[in-house]
A and B are shown apart, each in its own frame.
Chain A
Amino acid sequence: MNIHEYQAAQLLAARGVNRPDGDPVSTPEEARVVAARLLAAGHPKVIVKAQIHAGGRGKGTFTSGYQGGVKLCASVGEVETAAAAMLGQVLVTRQTGPEGRRVKKLLVAAAAPVVKEFYLAVLLDRATSRPMVIASEAGGMDIEEVAERSPEKIIRESVDPALGYQAYQARRQAVALGLIGEQLAPAARLFQGAYRTWLECEASLVEINPLALLHPPGDRPTLSAIDAKISLDDNALFRHPDLVALRDLDEESPLEIEASEHGLNYIKLDGNIACLVNGAGLAMATMDIIDHYGGRPANFLDVGGGASPEQVAAAFGIILKDPHVQAILVNIFGGIMDCNVIATGIVTAARQTALNRPLVVRLEGNNVVAGRQTLSESGLEIVSGDSMADAARLAVQAARTLGAN
């Protein structure tokens, strides 16, 4: 589960990761109030940031034509104008896809002169099965690119989960970034706060980019999390009702939400051949084989290894709501589940949904002969594929024929 930047910043701040003064707002009036407070407190400038679950906001474009989901403002009036232009509008960035995301909240925060920008992240290193803290002097940039081009700028600390991230490890990373002298102790404390956030929230990723050394006029330089991203481990959410409350359903596709309510795993893609498969690996492989035969999958859909008739019926309902779907490929390996039970489920679902698009079914496994018979005797126009390859070819063909009409 992903959360908004302002929510991530709050979780981090509660654990000692300093951030610029500011507040989330939902209306231009609220933005005005926050901006007035920040300017009155002596901050020279205020930044307005659209809150969506996607990166590239600064360079994004609103469908209204307004440029940029991040604005630096010098007056209350500018803040109010920017807020009015962003709120309620759809922002398209390189990460949102062409449909973009509607902006419902903004973060209005103080902006101070930046001395230097860094990168800090805590994640799970799959290769060692241990947490890892990653720091870099190359802040504000795409960290994958930095890792590719200048790997020496990536400072890693592997954490022994029995001990946690030790203070000396945090100091070592701070020193490597040049945060020395009177900056060392607060930097190490901040790094440990980021680790604690990862640990206590059971995050899969905590990323602060940039982590900036700010120099407010008349004050000492301080480290501050200018932008923060937190992804939470879905499997651990049952232990964190407070974090579940941060979920923003508007950021998720309605079909994906509906699917998850039925215990289905659905991800919408941009092709025209819907797939309905049991098992995640086979579901991915089915998308791949559609692509192999020149078609484009409309979705990933895993009805679970068991594939109960109820789930199959719910799955049909979901894939048929995608208007781009021109053919449906069902690929079920009924290992323990009786194929005839699955076939009955498919027939029932096809009738209930008044199926009007070509349906290709590949059934294999337990009691498959009876299952195929149920399909062929249903009176429905169901094409039976003899093998996975055969079924994929037939589905691609059916989608082409329909697309050409």
Chain B
Amino acid sequence: MSILVTPQTRVLIQGITGSFGARHARLSLEYGTQVVAGVTPGKGGQRFDERVPIFDTVAQAVQATQATASAIFVPPAFAADAILEGVDAGLDLIVCITEGIPAQDMIRVKRAMEGRPARLIGPNCPGIVTPGSGPDSHGGCRIGIAPGYIHRPGPVGVVSRSGTLTYEAVWQLTQRGVGQSTCVGIGGDPLHGTSHLEVIRMFHDDPDTQGIIMIGEIGGSAEEEAAAWIAAHGSKPVAAFIAGSTAPPGRRMGHAGAIISGGKGTAAAKIKALRAAGVVVAETPAVMAETLLKLLG
């Protein structure tokens, strides 16, 4: 099994005709993901690659194709609107890949989503992969920009704020013959839809996830909140890595959310909280999979 998405999940892509969205729509289709619709205002009625119907609005796409999840590839200035359109259309899951959304847009989006059933992943994230059972994990659900072939189906859940570090962890697992239930990139922005803690709870509730790799980085307190929950309720092995031990305070390290401010959000504090919760923290990013596999025995 998996969390959030399965190979059957019907996916629509907001911004399917932009170069970024089109490229990754094609890669998802090649991976065998059920990409059933695209949305580009003004291009309703056309087809993407002569294959996927394009709609003017998300509501039309949902009605016509029963899509339940979306990937957003629209530019930052329009991304908040795209998320809210997805929420309004009744989607279960919205994965926002877009990087560079103004913080105040995300404050409004988060406020508007309070009490609504839709779940947001991201923004500024690589998305979600539930690997499939075909060759190179073909036939899985790939929403976003992660390379599909590095995955294989299996028992490990991966949750991370960083894209390439997620791929790194997944690749380390796959090379050791260990597959993944679902891999979730929650994004590198200070405000995001879904936290480490929420994903870890889902992995705990998923009977087929036997171990978890959690990748965090400097900034904020999401890792500490996850650690507190794990200390109280955790029953599955968790290995972690926190990036940014050597990052200077007060500087944004690429991700908008990766900043130590006012002495808060350091890697040392996060590592300490995780260790206190019984999480084994990998010494280096090269041994993320190894660290978890030792726990799984």
> Chain A: residues with CB nearer than 8 A to chain B?
124, 126-127, 129-131, 143-144, 160-162, 199, 202, 204, 233-236, 238-239, 265, 267, 269, 277-292, 297, 300, 302, 305, 333, 335-336, 364-366, 387-389, 392
Given contacts A144-B262, A282-B162, A387-B286, contact A302 B254 (CB under 8 A): yes
Residues of A within 8 Å of B155, CB to CB, are: none
CB contacts (< 8 Å) of B167 on chain A: these are 333, 335, 365
Do B171 and A126 have beta carbons less than 8 Å apart? Answer: no
- Give Cα distance in the complex from A302 to B284, angstroms: 19
Per-residue contact bits, chain B 81-111, to A (CB 8 Å; 1 contact, 0 not): 0000000000000000000111111111011
Q: A11 → chain B, closest Cβ, in Å?
A: 16
Is the beta-carbon distance between A297 and B111 smaller than 8 angstroms? no
Task: Please determine whether A288 and B111 come into contact, CB atoms closer than 8 angstroms.
Answer: no
Between A and B, 11 residue pairs with Cβ closer than 8 Å are: A124-B103, A162-B111, A281-B165, A281-B243, A284-B244, A285-B243, A288-B267, A288-B285, A305-B164, A389-B284, A389-B286
Contact of B111 among A127, A161, A279, A336 (CB under 8 A): A161
- The yes or no answer to B293 lying at the interface (CB within 8 A) is no
Closest 10 CB pairs of A and B: A281-B162, A280-B254, A279-B164, A335-B147, A236-B102, A285-B285, A281-B165, A389-B286, A282-B164, A284-B243
Whether B283 contacts A280 by the Cβ 8 Å rule is no
Structural contact, B245 and A288, CB atoms closer than 8 A: yes
A294 CA to B241 CA, complexed, in Å = 19
- Whether B103 and A288, one on each chain, are in contact in the complex, defined by CB atoms closer than 8 angstroms, is no
Pick the contact of A281: B106, B145, B163, B286 (CB < 8 A).
Answer: B163
Alpha-carbon separation in the docked complex, A265 to B188 (Å): 14
CB pair A292 B110 closer than 8 Å:
no
Question: In the bound complex, do residue A126 and residue B247 qualify as a contact, i.e. CB atoms below 8 Å apart?
Answer: no
- Determine if A126 and B257 form an interchain contact, defined as CB atoms under 8 angstroms apart: yes
Q: Would A289 and B286 count as touching, CB distance under 8 A?
A: yes
- How far does the Cβ of B224 sit from chain A's closest Cβ, in whole Å? 10
Among residues of A, the one whose C-beta sits closest to the C-beta of B258 is A280
- Told that A365-B167, A392-B286 touch, could you supply 9 new A-B pairs with CB distance under 8 A? A129-B191, A161-B107, A235-B256, A281-B243, A284-B247, A286-B285, A288-B267, A305-B126, A305-B145
| Complex alpha-carbon distance, A129 and B27, angstroms | 33
Which of chain B's residues have a CB closer than 8 A to the CB of A283? 253-254
Q: Is the CB of A202 within 8 A of B104?
A: yes
Residues of A contacting B257 with CB < 8 Å? 126
Kindly specify which of B35-43, B214-222, B226-234 makes contact with the partner chain.
B214-222
Number of interface residues of B (CB under 8 A): 64
Q: Which residue of B lies closest to A163 (CB)?
A: B111
Point out the residue from B105, B191, B245, B256 that lies within 8 Å of A291, measured CB to CB.
B245
B 254-287 to A, binary, CB cutoff 8 A, 1 in contact else 0 = 1111100011100100000000000000011111
CA distance A118 to B119 in the complex (A): 41
- Chain B 157-173: CB-based contact to A (< 8 A → 1; otherwise 0): 00011111111100100
Most chain A C-beta atoms within 10 Å of own C-beta, residue among B77, B108, B254, B262: B254
Q: Is the CB of A233 within 8 A of B243?
A: no
How many angstroms from the CA of A358 to the CA of B25 in the assembled complex? Answer: 40
- Tell me whether A284 and B248 are in contact (CB under 8 A): no
Bound together, the chains give a CA A387 to CA B289 distance in angstroms of: 13
Residue B246 interfacial (CB < 8 Å): yes
Instruction: Please tell me if the beta carbons of A365 and B103 are within 8 angstroms of each other in the complex.
Output: no
CA distance A279 to B220 in the complex (A): 19
Inter-chain contact B108/A161, CB cutoff 8 Å: yes
CB-CB under 8 A for A288 and B163, given A124-B191, A235-B76, A235-B100 = no
Chain B residues with CB under 8 A of A366? 147, 149
Give the CA-CA distance A369 to B220 in the complex, in Å.
39
Q: Which residues of chain A are near B244, meaning CB under 8 Å?
A: 284, 288
Q: How far is the CA of A265 from the CA of B254 in the complex (A)?
A: 6
On chain B, the residues within 8 Å of A236 by CB distance are 102-105
Contact residues in B for A130 (Cβ distance below 8 Å): 107, 111
CA distance A387 to B108 in the complex (A): 43
> CB distance A285 to B145 under 8 Å?
no
Cα separation A205 to B279 with both chains bound (whole Å): 34
A288/B256 in contact, CB under 8 A = no
> Are A289 and B285 also in contact (CB < 8 A) when A202-B102, A283-B254, A333-B171 are?
yes
Find out whether the CB atom of A287 lies under 8 angstroms from the CB atom of B247: yes
A284-B162 Cα distance, complex, nearest whole Å: 10
| Most chain B C-beta atoms within 10 Å of own C-beta, residue among A127, A162, A291, A333 | A333
Instruction: Name A148's closest neighbour in chain B (CB-CB).
Output: B263
What residues of chain B lie closer than 8 Å to A202, measured between beta carbons?
Answer: 102-104
Q: Is B116 an interface residue (CB 8 A)?
A: no
Which residues of the other chain, A, contact B149 by a CB distance below 8 angstroms? Answer: 366
> Across the interface, which residues of B come within 8 angstroms of A126, CB to CB?
190-191, 219-222, 257
Q: Which residues of B contact A127 (CB under 8 A)?
A: 220-221, 225
In the complex, chain B residues whose CB is within 8 Å of the CB of A233:
102-104
One digit per residue, 1 when the CB lies within 8 angstroms of any chain A CB and 0 when it does not, for chain B 46-66 equals 000000000000000000000
- Cα distance A297–B251 in the bound complex, in angstroms: 15
Residue of A nearest to B264 (CB): A144
Question: In the bound complex, how far is the Cα of B175 from the Cα of A364, in angstroms?
Answer: 12
Is the C-beta of B29 less than 8 angstroms from some C-beta in chain A? no
Q: Is there a chain A Cβ closer than 8 Å to B13's Cβ?
A: no
Say yes or no: B147 contacts A267, CB within 8 Å.
no
B146 contacts the other chain (CB 8 A)? yes
Instruction: Select one of B106, B162, B254, B262 contacting A300, CB under 8 A.
Output: B254
- Check B168–A333 contact: CB distance below 8 A: yes
